[in-house]
Amino acid sequence: MIKIYNSLTKKVEDFKPIHEGTVSMYTCGPTVYSYAHIGNFRTYVSADIIYRTFLVNDYKVRYIINLTDVGHLSDDADDGDDKVEKMAKEEGKSARDITDFYIKRFLIDYEKLRIIKPKKFTRATEYIKEQVSLVSELEKRGYTYRTSDGVYFDTSRFEKYGELSGHFAEDILEGARVEINPEKRNPTDFALWKLSPKDEKRWQEWESPWGIGFPGWHIECSAMALKELGQTIDVHLGGEDLLMHHQNEIAQSECATGKEFVHYWMHAAFLKIDGGKMSKSLNNMYTLEDIEAKGFDPLSLRYFYLSGHYRTSLNFTWEALQSAQTALKKLYQVVEGYSPIQEETFAKDYLSRFMDVVNNDFNMPQALATMWDLLKSDVSEQTKICTLLKMDEVLGLDIESHVGMTIPEEIVNLAETRNTYRRNGIWDKADQLRKQLEASGYLVEDRGDSYKIRRRI
C-alpha cells in the first residue's frame, strides 16, 4: 500500500486509485523561456521518484507533464509581460524559436538526470481550443466576468477557494507587491483569458469569443489535464511555489465539471542555495550545465536530491554535491567489482524494507540508507546485485551500467594477461601491466588465484 501526504487534507493517506491498477498523474512543468535551474529539477526528480514508485508497484500510469509556452506573466499572476514574448523581444527571435530552443534544452537535462519521460509532454499552445471552450463553459455557468483587459474568474463564487493553499483574500491584499487591478472584484480573482494590448502585435495570440488574446497561465493546466486524463485525476504534482496556481486550477476545473478535480495533491519543497534563496541577483540559479562545468556527474545531483525528503527543503552547497558524488562513486566502485547477474535472486528482507520506506510517502533518505545496509551486509554478491538493480528501478542511478561487465574488453584482457604472469611468478611483467592498467584508470586487486578490477576514483 502506498501512502501519500496529501497537501489538500494535510494528512498522510492510503493511496486508492480511481480505477484499480491505474494511476492518472499530472505534473506542472517548466515555463520554457529560459533554462530550467536545479531548483526546478528538484521537483521533476521528485515527480520521477513518485512515477517510478507507481510503476514498481505494478500500476499502469497515465502521466502528463505540461510545457508552458504562453501566458505565464512576469508577476506569476495577471500583470506584467508574458515571459516568452519578453524573451523573444530581447533576443530578436520569434516566440516559437524561444520555446523550441528551451524545450530542447530542458529535455537534454531531463534525460541526463535519468528522469523517465511521461506518456506525453503537452504544450499549452497546442490546447488553445480546449482552453477557450473551458473558459466558455465557466462563463456559461456564471463564474466569470469581463474587464477591459480580459475575462476573470470570480473566486467569491467558489466556496472551496483557498482550501489548498490557505491563502485567502486578506493575505493577498496584505502581501500584495503590486497594486491590485481595480477592475477585479476580489483580490484573488485571476485571468482566464487576456486580451492582446491594442497597440501591440504579439507573436502568440488567438481569436476568441472575447477578442484576440491569449490564455491565462492557470487555465492551460486545467484544460490539458481534463483533456488528457479526465475530469478527476489521481495525483497532481508541482513545486511548493505553485500552491496558488493549483488553487486556481481546482477552482476552474471543479466549477466547469462539477466534479472533484484531484484526489492527491503533492508538492515538492524548495531547494535552498547556501542556506538562502535562489535568485538572479545572487547569481546562484545554477543549471545542470553549471554543475557539469565544475566536473560533476548529473547523477551526482540526482543522488543529492535523493538525500532529502521531497517535502523538506534541501540545502544545496558545492560541498554537499561533492559528498553526493563521493557516495555515488563509492556505490559504482562497489558494483564494478561484482560479476554480472547469472540468476535472479533477491534479498527479500532488504527489498521489502526498501519498498516499505519508498511506499511510505517516498522516503528516499531512508531508501538510500537501506541500500547501503544491503551493500554492507553479508548477503551474497549475486543476491546483492539483483536486489540493488531492483532498488534502482526507483532510485534511477544507472547502477546497471556499472556492474562488472562494463569494464572495457581491452582492460579485462590486460588484467587477464597480468594475472597469468602473476600466477607464473613473472613479477616484472605483471607489475608493468599493473602500472599500465592504473594509467588507464583501473586498479587490480588480487584475490587468491583470481582478481578484481575496479575503476579508480
Annotated binding site for Zn(2+): 28, 221, 245, 249
Nearest approach in angstroms of CB 102 to Zn ion is 17
Report the C-alpha gap between 53 and 59 in whole angstroms. Answer: 9
Give the range of 14-22, 217-225, 272-280, 429-437 binding Zn ion by CB under 5 A.
217-225
Q: Is 266 in the site for Zn ion (CB under 5 A)?
A: no
Nearest approach in angstroms of CB 28 to Zn ion is 3
Q: Is 64 in the site for Zn ion (CB under 5 A)?
A: no
- Cβ closest to Zn ion, residue 29 vs residue 162: 29
- Cβ closest to Zn ion, residue 28 vs residue 306: 28
Q: How many CB atoms lie within 10 A of CB 121?
A: 16
Give the range of 27-35, 287-295, 356-364, 428-436 binding Zn ion by CB under 5 A.
27-35
Give the range of 219-227, 259-267, 277-285, 286-294 binding Zn ion by CB under 5 A.
219-227
Give the range of 28-36, 48-56, 263-271, 424-432 binding Zn ion by CB under 5 A.
28-36
Q: Is 28 in the site for Zn ion (CB under 5 A)?
A: yes
Which neighbouring-strand residues pair with 213?
195, 206
Q: Is 221 in the site for Zn ion (CB under 5 A)?
A: yes
Count residues contacting Zn ion (CB under 5 A)?
A: 2
Q: How far is CA 139 from CA 153, 195, 404, in A?
A: 9, 16, 63
The answer to whether 272 and 278 are in contact (CB under 8 A) is yes
x-or-dash string of contact with Zn ion, 92-111, rule CB under 5 A = --------------------
The answer to whether 223 and 248 are in contact (CB under 8 A) is no
Q: Is 47 in the site for Zn ion (CB under 5 A)?
A: no
Binding site, by residue number, is 28, 221, 245, 249, 280
Nearest CA among 27, 36, 240, 14 for reference residue 116: 27
Q: Which three cell numbers stand for residue 217?
A: 497561465
CB burial class (10 A; 0-12, 13-18, 19+) of residue 398?
middle
- Cβ closest to Zn ion, residue 65 vs residue 371: 65
Binding site for ATP, by residue number, is 280
Pairing mode, strands 213-215 and 22-27: unpaired
Nearest approach in angstroms of CB 123 to Zn ion is 13
Read out DSSP for 99-135? Answer: HHHHHHHHHHHHHHTTPPP-SEEEEGGGGHHHHHHHH
Report the C-alpha gap between 104 and 90 in whole angstroms. Answer: 20
Residues that bind Zn ion (CB under 5 A): 28, 221
